[in-house]
Structure 1
Amino acid sequence: MTTGTATKLWALDGAKFTLDRGLLVVGGTGEIHLPVPTYLIQHPRGLVLCDTGLAPESIDDPFGTYGELADHIGLDFSSELRVDQQLAVVGFKPDDITHVIISHSHFDHTGGMKLFPNARFYIGAQDLPYAYWPMPAATPFFRTADIDPVRDVEWHPLTGDLDLFGDGAIQILMLPGHTPGNTSTLVRLPNQSVMLTGDTVHVPEALENDLPMPSDYSTLDAVHSIRRMKQIAHAHDAEIIIQHDFDDWNKLKAIGEAIS
């Protein structure tokens, strides 16, 4: 078996939300403030972006972009937090991105996709059609206006796990439940391994107690996927980084630095 590593991983800053914790995990109470980051992975065969954050147009027109959802999520977003601006902070531009992994098709992960028309895109196959025809309770979390501009890019819909470069360095894991095509990404670096959860879980108690989000596509699949993600992370001695948790985001250091 071939083994390789990615070179570096950057945690890029992004928008912030403030909302009811009960929207993110069964039994959650109180208000929560959370980040909406993206992640950049450098590999000898390409530069990989994990998720793309919010739509840039929502900075100047949040209600026109997201409607009443902008108020419900307490949106805090500014121009320096656009994904392309965050790439510039660490010395890259959108055309440098060769691969984009979309963990799932919710609006806070798809907003910047149109900035990367020359990249190869990877997403769980079931998420693309589901984004256009979701269950009614999940409708507010999808924005097809993010997907329409990139319908003609090089899409690679996944029907199972994918070892992105065939060397074990970046593994996209099919973990359905939050959405039908939800994924997380395992990254092996020279000095450590990291599991980027995407939205397989949103908060620490969901990880600790195998708790789904109330609006998950499938509660049963979501719980099974949380358990599978933890099993794979344990097998690889990988640190689990919850994408929307400030403590975990801060573990990956400040903007301008990278872990390796």
Structure 2
Amino acid sequence: MTGKSDVPAQYEIYAIRYGINPRRTRGQNFILDARPDEPLTLDFYSWVLIRRGEVIVVDTGMNPAFAEKHGHDMLMSPIEALKALGVRPDAVETVILTHAHYDHLGHLDAFPNARFFMQAEEMNYVTGPYMEKRWFRRAYEPDEITQLVRLLHDGRLELHGRDREIADGVTVHWVGGHCAGQEIVRVRTARGWVVLASDALHYYEEYERGVPFAVAFNLSDMITAHDRIRELADSDDHVVPAHDPRVAGIYPPASQELDGKVVRVDLAPVKSMDSR
């Protein structure tokens, strides 16, 4: 007897709804949309995985200054949301960065003892010749890219290959599309394998209609990513996009106090995914 449990690791997943942009339109979100002037709110999420005291943060939210610069509204600090969930940021040892856009890379300094994980292709992209083109660099902030370089030189950033096991029950997988190094996160939960699609899916609608989001590096990779997501998730009800207001409406809140701001996506949806 080693005392080690043979039960596979299962995580709780908390989706932190830290920001919103109610002024977005369908034309800003989808290429060649038939109703481009119709409003379509954009929500902003980061995530935290918790298992018996083990904590893994997935993306770190958005710097309020950059939210203001890009026209978004902050609902709460993702760092304060972690504290409300009983997570001390300075005690977090593992942070996954699904890509390096400004709304996924804020607050890096809040995790002074963490090791960060990101696709090597994303670092090649954000420090390479594609950044000469305004289209490709528009969702990156140079100060945050500099932080990544510092973390790399400090030995705290691991730039990994396309598929990587982060922990028992947590793996990351390259899909590209939205940016060169876009990855998704597969998490084992009590209800099965959940895929945090991050910006491989901004909205469920992309997945349902097979259409691309408007901010893209490679459209073919973006559409093909839908197949990879379906391959890794136990069902479509196990897929969580990064910016869809429907997420907050179909999943149960983490607590009464956090209703509308933090939801449990390791639990089954309490409403149909088609709810609007």
Give the TM-score band, short-chain normalised: 0.7 to 0.9
Does the Cα contact within 8 Å between 1:132 and 1:144 map onto a contact in 2?
no
RMSD between aligned residues: 2.3
| Structure 2 equivalent of residue 16 of structure 1 | 20
The percent identity for this pair of structures is 20
Give the match's secondary structure for 2:73. coil
Q: Which range is displaced more, 249-258 or 102-111?
A: 249-258
Deviations 1:186-205 (A, max 9, x none): 11112333111100011222
- TM-score of the pair, normalised by structure 2: 0.79
Deviations 1:34-85 (A, max 9, x none): 21111110135831111111114447xx2xxx3xx32xxxx1115xx11111
Matched, 1:33 2:37: no
Does the Cα contact within 8 Å between 1:112 and 1:146 map onto a contact in 2?
no
| Alignment counterpart, residue 53 of structure 1, candidates 51, 57, 61 | 61
Matched, 1:162 2:170: no
- TM-score of the pair, normalised by structure 1: 0.84
The amino acid across from 1:142 in the alignment is Y
Point out which structure has higher relative CO (alpha carbons under 8 A, 6+ apart). 1
Does the Cα contact within 8 Å between 2:18 and 2:45 map onto a contact in 1?
yes
Matched, 1:124 2:131: no
Please list every run of 5 or more consecutive structure 1 residues that lacks an aligned counterpart in the other structure: none
Deviations 1:171-218 (A, max 9, x none): 111111111110111111123331111000112221012222233111
CA spacing shift, 1:152–1:238, aligned 2, 3 Å: farther
Query: 1:82-231 maps to which residues of 2 (within 5 A)?
Result: 82-133=77-128, 134=131, 135-153=133-151, 154-165=156-167, 167=168, 169-231=169-231
1:116 to partner: Cα distance: 1.4
Please list every run of 5 or more consecutive structure 2 residues that lacks an aligned counterpart in the other structure: 1-5, 256-262, 268-276
CA spacing shift, 1:45–1:127, aligned 2, 3 Å: farther
Rg larger in 1 or in 2?
Answer: 2
CA spacing shift, 1:197–1:98, aligned 2, 3 Å: same
Matched, 1:77 2:68: no
| Structure 2 equivalent of residue 240 of structure 1 | 239
Q: What is the rounded CA distance, in whole Å, between the counterparts of 1:7 and 1:224 in structure 2?
A: 27
Q: Which range is displaced more, 208-217 or 90-99?
A: 208-217
The amino acid across from 1:33 in the alignment is T
Q: What is the rounded CA distance, in whole Å, between the counterparts of 1:150 and 1:132 in structure 2?
A: 10
Deviations 1:210-234 (A, max 9, x none): 2222331111111111221122224
| Alignment counterpart, residue 51 of structure 2, candidates 36, 40, 43 | 43
Does the Cα contact within 8 Å between 1:117 and 1:150 map onto a contact in 2?
no
